[in-house]
Chains A and B, each alone.
Chain A
Amino acid sequence: MTMTSLSRRSLLKSGAAALAASALPLGAARAQDGITIGAIYVGPRDDFGWNQSHAAAMDILREVPGVSVVEEENVPETDAVAKSMESMINLDGANLILATSFGYYNPFVLDVAAKYPEVQLRHCAPLWNPDTDPKNAGSYFSYLNQAHYVNGVAAGLSSASGKLGFIAAKPVQTVLSNCNSFLLGARSVNPNATVQVIFTGSWSMPVREAEATNALIDADCDVISCHVDSPKVVIETAEARGVKSCGHNADQRALAPNGFITGAESKWSTTYKIYAEALMSGETVPNLIAGGYHNDMVMNTPFGAGATPEAITAAGAAIEALKGGKPIYVGPLKDNTGKLVIEGEMDNYAPELEKMNYLLDGVIGSTT
């Protein structure tokens, strides 16, 4: 009995001493060697969509001296992501991990953050709670609806019929806000424009997305945009049917050489560079980064052949206005059931907009 308790105690002592001895120089060595940033994607990194938008930013980060990048694709929102994060920490020595899919956060990012307090974890969605969540975790996200507003401006002036189509995955706030902003952009240049929305009910379902694109075109829509994980099928189907399209998440210009107008993209490289600089200079990595055009966190894809000259001019002016803080949601605005939903002028980052659960008057479709 004495033997075991003694040996356990000595083991703990020597173990702690070894840990203390090894941790300090190791930490110092890492700071000198540069930093490692890991990114985890829920799908393939070249999906023409959400994952590609992050992967493109990681490619930019790769070029920054002193930064090495590790990536893992196709990590499901299960225990698998916790294992990926731990292996990035333990095997690759990651100082910061970017968890890019919504379902990674709770409990996986939270658990790993609590287990490894010396590693920074940032998750791409507005979920981090400063009061309850670990201080080495955090959130970053962009107000992509601002870029969808610009899409709408360009689409409104590139459409002959004024009937625009929007293929939406699920009726959640970000999707609804993108769809509503698309409408308001189009209405800012053509007061009679409408947006017809079709919900597929799934983030990625190529056959149904193609069906939805065909159905919208059969309903006389002549510009198609979307909010699904990978817009490749939507853009290609629209191009094959000879109608114009606006992109989402990544640069899809090459998919529609005749009909592409512009696309809404997040500029994650802005955020990732802020993180890398903070890590390298030893400063605190910000817990929360959010923004839109005013702080260079969203952008529009360079114009394609589908954009008319008027559309290019007006969209450029709209971008400048958004950079200056021009509000998108200016009341009174009704939803498409006739209820007054926005009374006055809304700041583009107003918290009320986070509760959006309606489609505005002018959007044809329903959320349920």
Chain B
Amino acid sequence: MSDAIFMVLMAMLGGAIRVSTPFLLVALGETLTEKSGRINLGLEGNLVLGAMIAYATSYSTGSPWLGVLAAGLAGMVLSAGHGWICKLPKVNDIAVGIAFMNLGTGLAFFFGKPFIQPTAPRLDAIALGAWSSNPQVQQALKVNPLFFVGLGLAVLLWWMLKNTRWGLIIRMTGDSAASARAMGVSVDRVRLLATSAGGFFAGIGGAFLSLYYPGSWSESLSSGQGLMAVALVIFARWNPIRCVWAALLFGASGALGPALQSIGFSKGYYFFNAAPYILTLVIMVLSARSQKAAHEAPGELSIVK
């Protein structure tokens, strides 16, 4: 029995590391965007478009890292579109976000057709489990560099928002556009830049999906991960460090269903497979009830105002 528990725990650890990276990158991108006072629901589109562009670039050039860069750029362009349209008067950022989600996935499906079949070079993992003789531990600790990119980015964002002049400007635009204007800051330009940078991160999240795990381009690749990551941001209360924990929790809960079945605990797999979604709902209910969450939300967000 303790063996079985160990297996499930290892699988959840492995799952947390394997599956969390796209959640983390999208959540960080959304955090940055929302900190500047806009909601970009279109990051699911960035994720899918990034996945396709990364796979196509890696296949065409033979370099997966070039694919990662291309995915980021594609995500940046897409989100810059969102940022640009939202600065026009009387535009609702949520509606534009939904439009961009469909645009991103639509573009990816349209241009991605020729890349479903071929196999592109993928990103390598770093084997951190070499110290252990247990193959399961070794497997769980095979970590993709992008995971560390995500971790580093989370710390950097947290520090930047808290301690730098840029961070202050972004937070100010997000909390009170009027104050920012009084300070002589161009609110629209800050939001455009923050949204674009957020789109870049989400695009890289897509590259992780197609170039590492599960590691191929198909149209059902994301299955809504970009949308769930947006929900994660509220759970993480716009704090990049808490985004890391939230993403890890989601990854682990996603691994729960298959891991329990693999040790023979197979009754009720529909319930366990739904764990990440149930978790999203529970989290949303809990965090929406919390007064503190409302307090921490950037004041300029259209859902808060």
Contact = CB atoms under 8 A, between A and B. Distances in A.
B270 A219 contact: no
A206 B218 contact: yes
Interface stretch (B32-40, B83-91, B109-117, B183-191): B109-117
User: Interface extent on B, as a size class?
Assistant: 35 or more
A39 interface: no
Contact of B213 (A47, A198, A210): A210
A197 B18 CA distance: 22
Contact of A236 (B117, B216, B259, B264): B216
A232 interface: yes
A200 to B, nearest CB: 7
Residue of B14, B214, B266 with most chain A CB atoms under a 10 A cut-off = B214
B269 A207 contact: no
A325 to B, nearest CB: 34
Interface in A214-249: 214-219, 230, 232-233, 236-237, 240-241
Contacts of A236: 119, 214-216
Contacts of B264: 196, 364-365
A215 B214 contact: no
A207 B19 contact: yes
B136 A218 contact: yes
Contacts of B18: 210-211, 214
Nearest to A43: B219
A47 B219 CA distance: 9
A44, A196, A230 interface centre (most CB from chain B within 10 Å) = A44
B286 interface: no
Interface string B1-28: 0000001001100110011000000000
Interface in B255-284: 255, 257-259, 261-264, 266-270, 273
Most buried by A among B15, B219, B225: B219
Contact of A46 (B117, B119, B216, B273): B117
Contacts of A198: 258, 261-262, 269
Interface string B37-68: 00000000000000000000000000000000
Given A48-B116, A241-B139, 7 more contacts: A43-B219, A196-B262, A201-B270, A205-B223, A214-B139, A215-B261, A368-B269
